[in-house]
Structure 1
């Protein structure tokens, strides 16, 4: 047996190696134009980037991607808006809302602030109203609308799913945290009851694509497991009583890094996928989701999301 200290050293070394690979010799991203716009509602205004794939957008799906912290405009520009390549290939409209330094000095979405969590209030309402405005403007498919993100963006996507389960067919909360997690004491209701309570009469299981790196020292791995446990609980309370407690399938892939994938299915409905990459750390994981190096992982995320159509109350899959 490998001593625990040596095993930890080995894992950290592998994580560092993966990060180095990702941060060097990254292929250039697919050059696709994005347009910078502004959206405002009664709560406030946010800039956002928009990419519409070639052809008539009518009836296409919509993906809203929420960035993590630290200078998001430079972050997205430096990585070439990598998801636009997938938007062209798979045929969906893509929006990147941008947090302001005035709202958070580190440009984080304020997912942890109770003022931003209820339906119709705070930052979540700006993102949700932007989503609805884009659906109306381009005649998009209301049954295939998705939101996801990384770190603070991942955590905000869980807020949006709880407040707007009738808007988003599925979510991708990556390296985020459970709904209403108290970041000071790392405590949250893991039963899922708080999510279903927030959903109210609109309550439905909202399928999720989860990702939590094993070596992440910022969003720790147990936080990701707690996030999954909370949503599995919410699925049961919101209508899918047969939601499994253990994966219905486990697979392993190596592109772009070694990753274990757990699936949680009920019948033909894929409720959740939980991805556990072995390295890199938090920043490297964010780069995987926003650079050409992580194209295979981004493809996997979008394939999961696009397979879902919104269900009615108490329904996960439409």
Structure 2
């Protein structure tokens, strides 16, 4: 009852103040999938599959932000364009108003981010459905999301490191940052409250006991984000480099277009485990780059910034551009 009251009072105010993201209206594209399996989080599943997609193709799970929907996020992010180009399935979970008045994924609710429970369990069912119904490759499943979807992406990587090979967090927050709406707001605005080891402990606590293999993680954030403090990107870096046993010092730094700086954090063999992308001057948004060029993707929309195509960079890092059924392998320096 207390949480329901908090949502009624706080969430509409946050949206009105611009604290929670808004997005484009629904558009044609992904197809609704029903009866995908156990759905304890009461989410909806949408999927986009290129015509003639063979079995053994990868899967990308793409998670929208608050008040967005699956179809709008598909258009803005450009994942279906890349699926047509490279050949993979896009799974798009969709939040419903009955779960959250502004259709935010409930990344701050312990009952929705704990393995086997709530919304993360529903998304796990969607992945399992894609593997069985579409013949997708269970070794090449990836996840990406914006804002609340980004925080849920991080939660999925922690709860299901045995399901997701890699993932990206766009304008999101670290795993274990909040456990109710009040702490979620604090998490979005204040950071730096824990050491790398403490952040890593939150990931390990969420994962199955004895986990030793961890997903690769990329983190995207704009320097002018007034909704989610950009320092959260540093906390995410600290969290996942510590999980992988790496120092918080990049092994390489690269200047990319549109004022984007990429830092890569690699192990002793030169295998990249964590990557951060900082986009100068960008607010609270997912980077995209509408156009027909080989590195472009997405459509103009609110909370998508015309900078670089983050989906393209993540997709290449995950090897989605490689033809055939090559096993997933992390990028190397």
Q: Shorter-normalised TM-score: what interval?
A: 0.7 to 0.9
Structure 2 residue aligned with 1:305: 318
Aligned to 1:219: 228
Shift of 1:123: 0.6
The aligned counterpart of 1:113 is: 109
Counterpart in the other structure of 1:11: none
Instruction: Work out whether residues 289 and 309 of structure 2, in 8 Å CA contact, stay in contact via their aligned partners in 1.
Output: no
Structure with the greater relative contact order (CA < 8 A, sep ≥ 6): 1 or 2?
Answer: 1
- Against the structure 1 CA distance between its residues 148 and 229, is the aligned structure 2 distance closer, same or farther, given a 3 Å change threshold? same
TM-score by length of 2: 0.75
Q: Aligned to 1:196, what secondary structure does the other structure show?
A: helix
In structure 1, list runs of 5 or more residues that go unmatched.
1-30, 237-242
Matched residue count: 274
Provide the residue aligned with 1:174 in structure 2.
170
Secondary structure at the aligned position of 1:276 is classed as: strand
CA displacement, residues 77-97 of structure 1 (integer Å, 9 cap, x when unaligned): 7x4662111001111111111
Q: Do structure 1's residue 244 and structure 2's residue 247 form an aligned pair? A: yes
- Label 1:263 to 1:277 Cα distance change in 2 as closer, same or farther (>3 A): same
1:198 and 2:200 aligned = no
Q: CA deviation at 1:148?
A: 1.0
Runs of at least 5 residues in structure 2 that lack an aligned partner in the other structure: 1-26, 179-183, 188-192, 291-296, 301-305, 321-325
Determine if contact 1:37/1:49 at 8 Å carries over to the other structure: yes
Judge conservation of contact 2:57–2:137 (CA < 8 Å) in 1.
yes
Q: 1: distance between equivalents of 2:224 and 2:275?
A: 19
RMSD: 2.7
How far apart are the structure 2 equivalents of 1:228 and 1:263? Answer: 10
Question: Could you tell me the TM-score, scaled by structure 1's length?
Answer: 0.78
8 Å CA contact 1:169–1:309 kept in 2: the answer is no
Question: Which shows bigger deviation, 102-111 or 302-311?
Answer: 302-311
In structure 2, relative to structure 1, the CA distance for the partners of 1:290 and 1:180 (3 Å cut) is: farther
Instruction: Give yes or no for contact 1:148–1:154 (8 Å, CA) kept in 2.
Output: yes
For 1:151 and 1:44, the matched residues in 2 are separated by 19
| Greater helix proportion | 1
Aligned equivalents of 1:196 and 1:124: distance in 2?
Answer: 16
Separation in structure 2 between the aligned mates of residue 34 and residue 101 of structure 1, nearest angstrom: 19
In the TM superposition, 1:44-83 aligns within 5 A as 44-73=41-70, 75-76=72-73, 79=75, 82-83=78-79
